[in-house]
Amino acid sequence: MSRYRLDELVWQQFESMCQALLLKEYGAVIEAWGGRQDLGRDAYCKCDLEFPKKGGPRPGPFVFQAKFVENGNAAGAKVEPPLLKSVKAECSRIGKRKKEGRWPILPGTYCLLTNAPLSKDLREKMEGLVKDALPDALFVVLGAGEICGMLDDAPNLRTSYPQLLSYREVMAIIACLQAKNEAGHKDKEAARTRHLETWLRESRARCLERWEALGVSSERALELADDEDLGKPFAEALPRGDSKLVVVEGEFGAGKSLLAERVYQSACKRYLGQDSDPLPVYVQARDITHTIEEYLQRKLTNLWDYHAQGVFLIVDGLDEAGLNKADRVLCELRMISRSWTNTLVLATSRPLPIWRDSDKVVEMPLFSLDEAGRFVHELADSGAHYTFNIPDIVREDVRRPFFAVLLSEYVRKTPANALVVVNDQNAFFFFHIPPHFQ
């Protein structure tokens, strides 16, 4: 019985396997013919070939013919009669082709490949038959033993014919594949962790850039960027349950982008703690050149199956992309939130005329005058306390974090001319109004 279950194949599979073994061993010089009209040549080579032994090339042509014997390796199988009958019939066809001129160039080497085990006596009988038909050709026969030896050196090819393998070998292959999958999963997990840590640093850097752009010192900007209470998300801004898409709207300077960054940072830290949450992805709407899915394909290549595993998508600044593009992006966000598994979407924007009744749009809350006063006072680190009426021109503006920061920087840099307090009526006041606030 052969080491591999060759008898489990049908003749077409055995023929294609023999062709594959020859192609693996000798490359593209082997022509794989086969089929009913192959003129007795399942495989063919017209050039020199190091066959049947390496190191000594023989001149072509070479003809390879497969002969499959059903149940040839079964206990007590008598393979000689059917095999000799098949070889005799093939030799008869060779003689006929020679007479008809369909083999104008006779092979220098003729090789038979069979699944049957071969005795010395049977090999000699087969050689005698072939020599009568092709007296000048070298005859080579590869039986079950030689075929199994070739399969030993072709593990990938063996797995293409799983019926060849024993139960133990199949289980070993499955275990190997499982180990590779686990290793691949761990590699992807490690890559995701590295990317998330990088994305967290990038988010912090964006916060630093925003604070410094307002004139805040680098040292103070670092403190503000790391103060997680500053810009802390409010409950209605977080998508969940039936509200998988939430749009936070607010005027310029209301703190929408800082909110988006804080939501993103919090989601990244949760994911790093346990990857059961959807993978958080931050994108500025103006950076979406075609579609969100195309953007995710580029960003998450080989990292995450976002269709099956979902994402927490944070899209900042819809309005900055222009009205037409914002409308198109929002339409795609609606589709994504409704159709993708385990997917949540948060978008920020100034008020736009593209919201639908079905959209959950929440307004970005502003500081109260009391909160604004305290914020400016703490940010400016001012120790003075005076009460003066604030002009109407800035009363509403300072309720927006952007303008409150600008004011705090003015107070910090000119403490003799601008002072911040909170009075009994929770009103925010300062007394010397510089020209750019008048």
The answer to whether 376 and 398 are in contact (CB under 8 A) is yes
- Between 84 and 104, the higher pLDDT residue: 84
Q: 428 pLDDT exceeds 70?
A: no
Q: pLDDT, tens digit, for every residue of 216-267?
A: 778 878 888 888 777 788 888 888 888 889 999 988 878 888 889 999 988 8
Q: For the chain, give me the number of helices (H) and strands (E)?
A: 14, 12
- Record the pTM: 0.54
Q: pLDDT, tens digit, for every residue of 352-375?
A: 998 988 888 888 887 777 777 777
Residue type, 314: I
The answer to whether 285 and 326 are in contact (CB under 8 A) is yes
In sequence order, which ranges of 105-228 are alpha helices (DSSP H)? 120-133, 144-152, 155-160, 167-213, 218-226
What the block records as the tokens of 147 is 């075929």
- Backbone φ and ψ for 283, nearest 5 degrees, come out as -150, 140
Sheet of 279-284, strand order: 279-284, 311-316, 344-349, 245-249, 360-363
**Distance of alpha carbon 255 from alpha carbon 405, whole angstroms:** 11
**Distance of alpha carbon 282 from alpha carbon 286, whole angstroms:** 12
The answer to whether 137 and 108 are in contact (CB under 8 A) is yes
What the block records as the tokens of 172 is 């070993």
- For 40-56, give one letter per residue: b (16+ CB within 10 A) or e: bbbbbbeeebebbeeee
Q: What is the mean pLDDT of residues 65-83?
A: 91
Q: How far is CA 95 from CA 60, 103, 134, in A?
A: 20, 9, 9
- Backbone φ and ψ for 2, nearest 5 degrees, come out as -75, 160
**Distance of alpha carbon 44 from alpha carbon 87, whole angstroms:** 18
Q: 176 pLDDT exceeds 80?
A: no
Residue type, 333: L
Partners of 421 in the beta sheet?
A: 429
Among 358, 347, 369, which residue's Cα sits nearest to residue 420?
A: 369
**Distance of alpha carbon 92 from alpha carbon 217, whole angstroms:** 97
**Distance of alpha carbon 260 from alpha carbon 250, whole angstroms:** 12
**Distance of alpha carbon 268 from alpha carbon 278, whole angstroms:** 10
Residue with the two structure tokens 């109260």: 368
Residues of the chain with pLDDT > 90, as a percent, come to 29
Same topology, domains 6-165 and 187-363? Answer is: no
Domain-wise residue ranges, the chain? 6-165, 187-363, 369-437
Determine the topology of domain 187-363 in CATH: Rossmann fold (3.40.50)
Range name among 85-94, 137-146, 214-223, 321-330 with the lowest pLDDT average: 214-223
The mean pLDDT value of the chain amounts to 81
CB atoms within 10 A of CB 208: 17
What the block records as the tokens of 323 is 């009205």
Start-to-end CA distance of the chain, whole Å, equals 101
Determine the topology of domain 6-165 in CATH: Restriction Endonuclease (3.40.91)
Q: pLDDT, tens digit, for every residue of 279-307?
A: 888 888 888 888 888 888 887 776 667 77
